Amino acid sequence: MQPIAFWKMNGSGNDFILIDNRDGKIAEKDMKHLAERSCRRRESIGADGIIFIINSDRYDFAWRFFNADGSEAEMCGNGGRCVARFANLNGLAGKRMTFETLAGPISAEVTDRIVKVLMPVPSGLKTDIEISFKPGWLSVDFINTGVPHVVVQVEDLRNHPVFEQGRAIRYHSMFSPAGTNADFIKVKGPDSIELRTYERGVEDETLACGTGAIASALIANIRGIVSSPVRVATKGGEELKI
């Protein structure tokens, strides 16, 4: 294989490999395999996901987004911020742009070092879902913000078993066959929450999750425990405003 130029970018702790594939040098059939190989930490470049930028007939550009396990995702919030920054820096688009995803067209705006992304309209809201969970039952909320998310409010977020419980929720039969991401939140103040996320496709806790931050902020606001706009503190240290 010929050498492939790439960028490594980070959004709130989520890190991504970005490849400008508008010339089609990487065939569609090879994208999944390249994602699996390139995203392995300690063995390769290492990342939460890989973004292939491709041509679009209707918008500034399009993308194909693959998780670290090679699965393709409809949307990724922090990935969207990174690709918008990349597009602006490399002349693919101006400060305002629209790009095509499996979740639909996404608009973004780049202002200095701030990147704003207008996400898809949320869908599938379900509250107070009771799921079987050892040693009993767990009450959760669900919403799709481009990808599916379960949100759970906890008291001790720092010591919560995010990996173990997140993995159990991700593979729970209630959300099969596609599975779901799992977000654990704690209220910090009248308009702020803390968030930890187990990400489907990465199959581990990540330092941040844009779609998870949106899901968590929406659920917290719907439940009346925080006011809007909501400030979301991520494990990576950055605060997102939703």
Q: Report d(CA 115, CA 95) in Å as an integer.
A: 9
Name residue, tokens 């070092």: 113
Q: Report d(CA 125, CA 121) in Å as an integer.
A: 11
Contact yes or no for 17/48 (Cβ under 8 A): no
Residues 73, 76, 143, 151: which is the catalytic one? 76
Q: Please confirm, yes or no, whether 39 is among the known catalytic residues.
A: no
Residues 54, 143, 151, 209: which is the catalytic one? 209
Contact yes or no for 230/221 (Cβ under 8 A): yes
Give the pair of three-digit tokens for residue 167. 């993995």
Q: Report d(CA 231, CA 7) in Å as an integer.
A: 29
Name residue, tokens 């729970």: 172
- CA distance readout (Å), 228 to 88, 118, 201, 219: 29, 16, 30, 11
Name residue, tokens 């405003």: 241
Residues tagged active-site? 76, 209
